[in-house]
Amino acid sequence: MLTQLTHDISTMSRRRWLAATAGLVLGLAAFSNAKAQETIKVGVLHSLSGTMAISETTLKDTVLFLIDEQNKKGGVLGKKLEAVVVDPASNWPLFAEKARELITKDKVSVVFGCWTSVSRKSVLPVFKELNSILFYPVQYEGEESERNVFYTGAAPNQQAIPAVNYLMKDEKVKRWVLAGTDYVYPRTTNKILEAYLKSKGVKQEDIMINYTPFGHSDWQTIVADIKKFGSAGKKTAVVSTINGDANVPFYKELGNQGIKATDIPVVAFSVGEEELAGIDTKPLLGHLAAWNYFQSIKDPANEKFIKAWQAYTKNPKRVTNDPMEAHVIGFEMWVKAVEKVKSTDADKVIDALPGIEAKNLTGGTSKMLPNHHITKPVFIGEIKANGQFDVVWKTPGLVAGDAWSKELDGSKDLIGDWVGKKCGNYNTKTNKCGGQGS
């Protein structure tokens, strides 16, 4: 009995020793192997499940596509890029957790991610604390300029204000419905627009502001209200910051109640090619959207990108949209900045990024500004029957993104300047850093 036991122990330990040696050898081999192929890690922080998966999944694919293309060109600084994809599942606190995981555990050099403003606000402290870089690709409400974040989507002056100007000048709109989903982006944008419209002489009674919950599906009352508001003898338009899924029932109700784009046009800031791909576009014909990019824009760079993207996704019908272009620009800027300082060190890259230029897909060259926003052209497009947009108006040149809105009292004196002043909210009146939002 006893001998049997000792025998067992000795065989076991021998086996264990063998296993350990083998493991060590293998580990060493793997280590040296890893050293030979050291990669630069790029974090992708987009929801792949939950409510926001509808919009964010495409952006994940876009970053993977861009990394693939870059690796075909030999990577960056002679190293291959490696994507680290995580799924924050449309859950705002989880965004912060996953961001921390990407930076501390996976040691990524840069993160491309977030869609909603609340997810961005939730990861901000993490990026500040761990000093990493986030590229944020979606149009947003502004009023922010952070050292660790680069905003490649539109600020309000690159989307909302030009759209309103177009309606005022070309469609001679005198009465405004500002309709939005009830959260931070529509509320801030509408506050800015309201102030802007009033500065243009629009009276309070000619502005109707309406908020609806997320995923609102019964639009009968609101559409009837819009119809009533629009029958005051003045040309009326709807400026829509309605988000995501709620758009489809809204447009359906407009169409069913017989409101055509020629009567009351709707200009939307959150409806793009991707959103239109899944719906019947009949009721939407002629309604407008304001973006910095449309798939239908004829430009060699755009055509090349669409072709490569459709080949990569193996889907000849796959559409492209504005936030994707923002990632394309942001990615190229990051690559250029890394190659300029020959390092992926966050501090060096952050300092190198302002001033970096990258070709956008609509024939211009966007530039990263000291306030970490970029210059972009603004287009107004009309929805066509095939789910694409027909550009009816565009700004003559590129518009520089304002981090702080000039229309709001609290922010009109603030600027973001991470080059000269090293400050995201520098007050030009008091010449001090730190105003609102510090």
Interacting residue ranges for another protein, rule: CB under 8 A: 48-51, 53-54, 57, 170-171, 182, 210-213, 215-218, 220-222, 224-225, 227-228, 230-234, 245, 248-249, 252-253, 255-258, 261-262, 265, 274-275, 277-280, 282, 286, 288, 382, 390, 392
Q: Which residues pair with 206 in a beta bridge?
A: none
Beta strands in 189-296 (DSSP E): 207-212, 236-241, 266-268, 288-291
Please say whether the beta carbons of 237 and 266 come within 8 A: yes
DSSP 368: B
Q: Which is nearer to another protein, 261 or 358 (CB)?
A: 261
Q: Which is nearer to another protein, 48 or 433 (CB)?
A: 48
Distance in Å, CB of 353 to another protein, minimum: 31
Q: Which is nearer to another protein, 23 or 213 (CB)?
A: 213
Distance in Å, CB of 236 to another protein, minimum: 9
Distance in Å, CB of 27 to another protein, minimum: 35
Distance in Å, CB of 382 to another protein, minimum: 6
Q: Which is nearer to another protein, 195 or 391 (CB)?
A: 391
Please say whether the beta carbons of 418 and 372 come within 8 A: yes
Q: Which is nearer to another protein, 133 or 226 (CB)?
A: 226
Q: Which is nearer to another protein, 87 or 407 (CB)?
A: 87
Q: Which two tokens stand for residue 373?
A: 């926003």
Q: Quick one: how many helices (H) and strands (E) in the chain?
A: 12, 19
Which contacts qualify for 425-433: CB closer than 8 Å, 24 or more apart? 425/145
Distance in Å, CB of 221 to another protein, minimum: 5
- Our measurement of the distance from residue 110's CA atom to the centroid of its chain's CA atoms, rounded to an integer in Å, reads 15
Q: Which is nearer to another protein, 15 or 234 (CB)?
A: 234
Q: Residues, the chain, total? A: 438
User: Whole-angstrom Cα distance, residue 437 to residue 424?
Assistant: 9
Distance in Å, CB of 110 to another protein, minimum: 25
Provide the terminal-to-terminal Cα distance of the chain, rounded to the nearest Å: 75
User: Whole-angstrom Cα distance, residue 419 to residue 411?
Assistant: 20
Distance in Å, CB of 45 to another protein, minimum: 16
Task: Let me know if 386 is exposed, middle or buried by CB neighbors in 10 A (0-12, 13-18, 19+).
Answer: exposed
